Amino acid sequence: MNSFRQRIAIVLSALAILTLTACERPPIEAKQTGYRGTGMDQINNPRTDAQLAKINQLPASISASPDGPRAGDVYKNVKVLNNLSQEQFTTFMVSMTAWVSPKEGCAYCHNVQNFADDSLYTKTVSRRMIQMNQTINANWGDHVKETGVTCYTCHRGNNVPQNVWFNPVEKRGGNMLGNTNGQNDPIKTVGYASLPNQPFKDYFVANSRAARVNGDTALPTGHKASIQETENVYGVMMHMSNSLGVNCTYCHNSRAFSNWEQSTPQRVQAWYGIQMLKDVNSSYITPLTSIHPADHKGPDGDIAKANCTTCHQGVNKPLLGKSMLKDYPYLAAPAKKASADSMQTAKK
């Protein structure tokens, strides 16, 4: 009998292990950020810190003197960084190659037989991305603060950043299920939640609606969100939480989620981040659709766009809050607010 009970215990233990494999295992650290009883704790797992630190390491930086002849006077067809010194310009080209195309080298953007040639679409794209960096650093300080961004913040050695999104296409789960709205198909994008897994088209492009469904009264008044809209909002909130490696209470007060006065300062910074995504996706990225090859586009014919994970990659401050702008100050140069057709400046 004892032997039988032991076998049963072993089987139950094995089943418990299999059941809990998707749960976060210890050790964990909890830091209280609000009043007791509100559940406002930030959970951190030291076991994953080393991996996140590796992902968010700074690359080697190269400083350069601003003195000497201007790049626009030395090289032909320099349209965006022509005011840099020759040393700054060549240093930045080497750095950008390491950030974006370490395998392909200069040939990823340039005709190496004629560097002034504009025939490769990647050269036009790179010009616009430099301008996008300058705009973010100049106009979106409410989100990026003094740390700012560079090409490396998103690319991390990849031609296309690893964490991007395309427009969703309707998926049908059978004649009876109809449009599943991307549900029950858990992916990392929304923290493996059983929620719509591509909610970004509704919130991360120009003129999209606010990601908000909670009312501010006890009974429903005014706008009443549909179940589908509510699920989309929760999907994008799960995405933000997973992207930054934080809990909901990093931005929200758990006793009054919709109340801005009782929220943490990070909620305002996150709001500016959403507005920034709308700007860069609509003003800089989407206008480049027509020059991209078909195999770089999604099922809907759109190109890869940015979301929170594109920069953050699992930490609340990209690259753990370390700035690269001291070695590349020209990426923080003042920039005008972009218009939808301003891509033409990169072609002229």
Does residue 42 fall inside a structural domain?
no
58-83 mean pLDDT: 93
* Higher local confidence (pLDDT), 230 or 155: 155
6-30 mean pLDDT: 64
Is the confidence at residue 56, as pLDDT, over 70?
yes
Does residue 150 fall inside a structural domain?
yes
Which CA distances in Å does 342 have to 43, 262, 316, 337, 345? 43, 40, 31, 10, 6
Binding residue numbers:
93, 106, 109-110, 129, 143, 151, 154-155, 237, 248, 251-252, 308, 311-312
Helix (H) or strand (E) holding 267: helix 265-280
Is the confidence at residue 7, as pLDDT, over 90?
no
Residues 175 and 77 in one domain: no
Mean pLDDT taken over the chain:
85
Residues 177 and 292 in one domain: yes
How many folded domains does the chain comprise?
2
Residues 129 and 174 in one domain: no
Least confident of 93-107, 213-227, 231-245, 285-299: 213-227
Residues 338 and 293 in one domain: no
> Which one-letter DSSP state was computed for residue 198?
-
Beta bridge partners of 29: 44
Does residue 58 fall inside a structural domain?
yes
Binding residue numbers for heme:
93, 106, 109-110, 129, 143, 151, 154-155, 237, 248, 251-252, 308, 311-312
Does residue 333 fall inside a structural domain?
yes
Residues 263 and 343 in one domain: no
Confidence class for position 215, pLDDT limits 50, 70, 90: low
Does residue 32 fall inside a structural domain?
no
Dihedral angle over CA of 280, 284, 286, 288, nearest 10: -160
Residues 289 and 181 in one domain: yes
Residues 145 and 205 in one domain: no
Can you give the pLDDT at residue 321?
94
Residues 339 and 302 in one domain: no
Highest mean pLDDT among 33-37, 155-159, 177-181, 189-193: 155-159
As a whole-number percent, the residues of the chain with pLDDT over 90 amount to 55
Residues 270 and 332 in one domain: no
Residues 290 and 335 in one domain: no
Residues 216 and 304 in one domain: yes
d(CA 105, CA 80): 20
CATH code for the domain of 80? 1.10.468.10
Residues 297 and 337 in one domain: no
Q: What is the pLDDT of residues 169-195, one digit of tens each?
A: 765 555 565 666 677 777 777 878 888
Supply the DSSP string of 298-328, one letter for each residue. Answer: -TTSPBPEE-HHHHHTTSSSGGGG---TTT-
Can you give the pLDDT at residue 117?
96
> Could you list the residue range(s) of the whole structural domain that residue 140 is in?
51-157+324-348
